[in-house]
Amino acid sequence: MTGSDYPTLTASTIAARVKDGDSSPVDVVRASFGRARAVGAGPDGLNAILWSDEDESVREAERLRGQLEQGSKAGRFAGVPIAVKDNYATLGLPTTCGSRILAGYISPFEATCVTRLREDGAIIVAKTNMDEFAMGSSTENSAYGPTRNPIDIRRVPGGSSGGSAAAVAAGIVPIALGSETGGSVRQPASFCGIVGVKPTYGRISRYGLVAFASSLDHVSAFARNVDDSALALEVMAGADQRDSTSADVPVPSYRSQFVSRATAVRPLEGVTVGVPREYFPESLDQGIRTLCDRSIEHFRALGAKVRDVSLPHTDLAIPAYYIIAPAEASSNLARYEGVRYGARVDSVDGLRGMYEATRSLGFGPEVTRRIILGTYVLSAGYYDAYYRRAQAVRSLIARDFAQVFADGVDVLFTPTAPSTAFPIGAITDPYEMYLSDIFTVTANLAGIPAMSIPIGRDAGLPVGGQILAKHFGESVMFRAAYALEESLGEDAHR
């Protein structure tokens, strides 16, 4: 292991080298911290990383090295440094959700997905910056300042998982956890030129993922390539007693179902790719459209059948999402009142005064806005008009997807986001920012798996293509993504 080749290595390569004794986990972890320093990952630079403890990470790597020397079986992520978004409960490092209200909070328990990564050999090296409580699309809403995009530091990395996306794009870690409620991994993956995957709702336990909107929240991951992203899901997926919505559905080996051009002339023979016209409006950026068209041609060349399809309720997704998500958030965030954990602001007005003072000073403007909006749409007289109706529209959106998949489509292909990474500070209107999620929220509303992979660059900035599949259809989604990635080759990054 040398510091210079570390940033280009995939997680599976690092794990193989550690397993074979070619690399030491200690050297790998040191290379990760060295890279973080070299690219300026801290607050004066990318501001991607909020919390880390190099000494403790090195000690953990030393323990792993000792276990391997004693003959312990190497896990699938043996010695792989992984960064985790700051809304996952982790032992040892703070969990603040990018908020003042949880400043200094260290969780007394650990998220199931983090435990599973560690049990397979991963070393958790950092907690990453994020929009406060994952409410945002640019990572500008963090109480700890905005994260910058490593491709162009004047621009946002996307959000809300922008710190994790930047950490992977900058070569600090090969894999990072993000979380999704409306596209918070796929959109930053698109903006930073990396892979981002959100599985089926229930595929990975949400235990220890701090709740934003429980029916929309998904554990999700960033990686440099499709293979690593599939491996991350294989490690983390599966039922968990601590999350009753986690699905008791067997976890297949996604990677074993990849078909390479090295072994098949038409790797996607028998796969039907649907192209939903609602995701290609006339107003779509021409550069993004051109790159999507090129990917569609690649799908054809790979042997896939390509079909135009319609998802007629797509334009209702943003209005429905921005009722349901704030409504659930206003309930979930009621727990931050200064009593049991996190910040407390005392008041002369007794207990109730303490609640209000703590919440008023602890939450930033976007979180406050969504709590007010969510409380409003749930309040007497407005519940039916807003919340109940939005949940009915959500059913229509899910039905659109179900009908297309029942009609023989295996995967859908769309742009991931309507734009490339925009300059920091460029969008100030809340609703205009919400529209950044226009192509991603539908998958969260329906609970279907979706991922973004790089498909090229527009004016030097990365563009992502989105692949969606039916519930628990990750295998075909990864297969299509792998084939497209292989077919595009270096064109995906230029």
Residue 150 carries which side chain, given as an amino acid letter?
A: P
| Active-site option among 107, 160, 190, 229 | 160
What is the CA angle 127-16-121, rounded to 5? 40
Q: Is 184 a catalytic residue?
A: yes
- Interactions with other proteins, residue window 440-479 (CB under 8 A): 445-447, 471-472
Rounded Cα distance between 219 and 117, Å, is 13
The nearer residue to other proteins, 324 or 483, going by C-beta atoms, is: 324
- Interactions with other proteins, residue window 174-203 (CB under 8 A): 200-202
Residue 438 carries which side chain, given as an amino acid letter?
A: I
For strands 272-276 and 218-223, give the pairing.
unpaired
Question: Which of 264, 383, 395, 425 is the binder for other proteins (CB under 8 A)?
Answer: 395
Stretch that binds other proteins, among 158-166, 250-258, 429-437, 479-487 (CB under 8 A): 429-437
What is the nearest approach in angstroms of other proteins to the Cβ of residue 243? 10
CA distances from 162 to 109, 126, 417 (A): 24, 14, 15
CA dihedral sign, ordered 452, 453, 455, 458: positive
Q: What is the CA radius of gyration of the chain?
A: 21
The answer to whether residue 402 forms part of the interface with other proteins (CB under 8 A) is: yes
- Interactions with other proteins, residue window 282-311 (CB under 8 A): none
The answer to whether residue 242 forms part of the interface with other proteins (CB under 8 A) is: yes
The answer to whether residue 403 forms part of the interface with other proteins (CB under 8 A) is: no
- Interactions with other proteins, residue window 95-124 (CB under 8 A): 105-110
Q: Produce one character per residue of 145-163: b if its CB has 16 or more CB atoms within 10 Å, e if not.
A: ebbbbbbbeebbbbbbbbb
What is the nearest approach in angstroms of other proteins to the Cβ of residue 423? 22
The nearer residue to other proteins, 280 or 341, going by C-beta atoms, is: 341
The nearer residue to other proteins, 265 or 348, going by C-beta atoms, is: 348
Residue whose pair of structure tokens reads 């929220």 in the numeric block: 441
| Active-site option among 52, 57, 85, 475 | 85
- Interactions with other proteins, residue window 352-391 (CB under 8 A): 352-357, 359-360, 363, 368-369, 371-373, 375-376, 379, 382, 385-386, 388-391
| Active-site option among 137, 184, 229, 246 | 184
Q: What share of the chain is helix, strand, coil (3-state, %, to 5)?
A: 45, 15, 45
The answer to whether residue 438 forms part of the interface with other proteins (CB under 8 A) is: no
Stretch that binds other proteins, among 250-258, 274-282, 290-298, 347-355 (CB under 8 A): 347-355
Stretch that binds other proteins, among 14-22, 54-62, 125-133, 240-248 (CB under 8 A): 240-248
The answer to whether residue 73 forms part of the interface with other proteins (CB under 8 A) is: no
The nearer residue to other proteins, 300 or 344, going by C-beta atoms, is: 344
What is the nearest approach in angstroms of other proteins to the Cβ of residue 435? 9
Pair 170, 142: CB distance under 8 Å: no
Please give the structure tokens belonging to residue 278.
């609602």
What is the nearest approach in angstroms of other proteins to the Cβ of residue 71? 28
Rounded Cα distance between 362 and 329, Å, is 15
Question: Which of 342, 415, 454, 462 is the binder for other proteins (CB under 8 A)?
Answer: 342
Q: Which of 327, 383, 366 is nearest to 214 (CA)?
A: 327
Who's near 433: CB < 8 A, 6+ residues apart? 136, 137, 138, 427
Rounded Cα distance between 357 and 368, Å, is 13
